[in-house]
Amino acid sequence: MRVLLILAATLAAVCLGACKAPPPATKEYAYPAWGFRISFQSPPKVTDAPAQPDGTPRSFNAEADGGGRDFAINANDAPDNGKTIDALADSAAELIAKELKAETTIKTYAATTEGVMGRQFDVTDGGRPVARVRVFLAGGRFYVLAAKSAYGLEDPAVDDFLYSFHASSAAATNATQPS
């Protein structure tokens, strides 16, 4: 009887593990005019918007979804007002929380392989993690990366996407150091 229970538990664990989709194959997309490259699981939908008379900065958005995963990057010309990455991360977290009627977790350090320092936080709904966000300030641009997965934030595809962000050499040269 005990052997049967162990076998049933093992079979259930294998079946549950098989339900989780493997990380998708990705392709790198370069956006030299915006100073970065990043990998998506499918061709992203791209929107490029000029600066607006009301002071809204020029912006770029690329997003792709599929297979239970939704990945996006938004880049904006950063205002030259001396704001630090911490101040911009706080503003972004507040705006995202308000838009999604959610909460954000404490911000932690994040960095690209080029040495561009940034911040990372999770978006939660009722204490349940919903999305992971990273922000970077480099080369006169503010980058916001967002990853959401039906398989949870521990899905390897989430980290694969976030780590695939690379600032161009010009942006990395202007990387801000942690404050």
Report the alpha-carbon distance of residue 97 to residue 86 in Å, rounded: 16
In contact, 103 and 133? CB cutoff 8 Å:
no
Which tokens go with 48?
């490029």
Report the alpha-carbon distance of residue 116 to residue 6 in Å, rounded: 49
Report the alpha-carbon distance of residue 110 to residue 116 in Å, rounded: 8
For residue 136, the model assigns a pLDDT of 96
- Domain containing 122 — which CATH number? 3.40.1000.10
In this structure, is residue 140 part of a structural domain?
yes
In this structure, is residue 118 part of a structural domain?
yes
In this structure, is residue 2 part of a structural domain?
no
In this structure, is residue 129 part of a structural domain?
yes
For residue 172, the model assigns a pLDDT of 53
In this structure, is residue 178 part of a structural domain?
no
DSSP secondary structure, 103-130, as one string = EE---EEEE-TT--EEEEEEEEETTEEE
Domain encompassing residue 155: 23-173
18-67 confidence digits (pLDDT tens): 455 566 789 999 999 999 999 999 999 999 999 999 988 999 999 999 99
101-105: long-range contacts, CB 8 A cutoff, minimum separation 24: 101/125, 102/130, 103/127, 104/133
In this structure, is residue 142 part of a structural domain?
yes
In this structure, is residue 15 part of a structural domain?
no
Report the alpha-carbon distance of residue 166 to residue 153 in Å, rounded: 21
The dihedral region occupied by 50, where left means phi > 0, alpha psi between -120 and 50, and beta the remainder, is beta
SS3 category, 67: coil
pTM, entire model: 0.82
In contact, 65 and 71? CB cutoff 8 Å:
yes
Domain count, the chain: 1
In this structure, is residue 100 part of a structural domain?
yes
Per-residue pLDDT of the chain (179 residues; tens, 9 = 90+): 444 334 434 444 444 444 555 667 899 999 999 999 999 999 999 999 999 999 889 999 999 999 999 999 999 998 777 788 999 999 999 999 999 899 999 999 999 999 999 999 999 999 899 999 999 999 899 999 999 999 999 999 999 999 999 998 655 544 444 44
Report the alpha-carbon distance of residue 116 to residue 8 in Å, rounded: 49
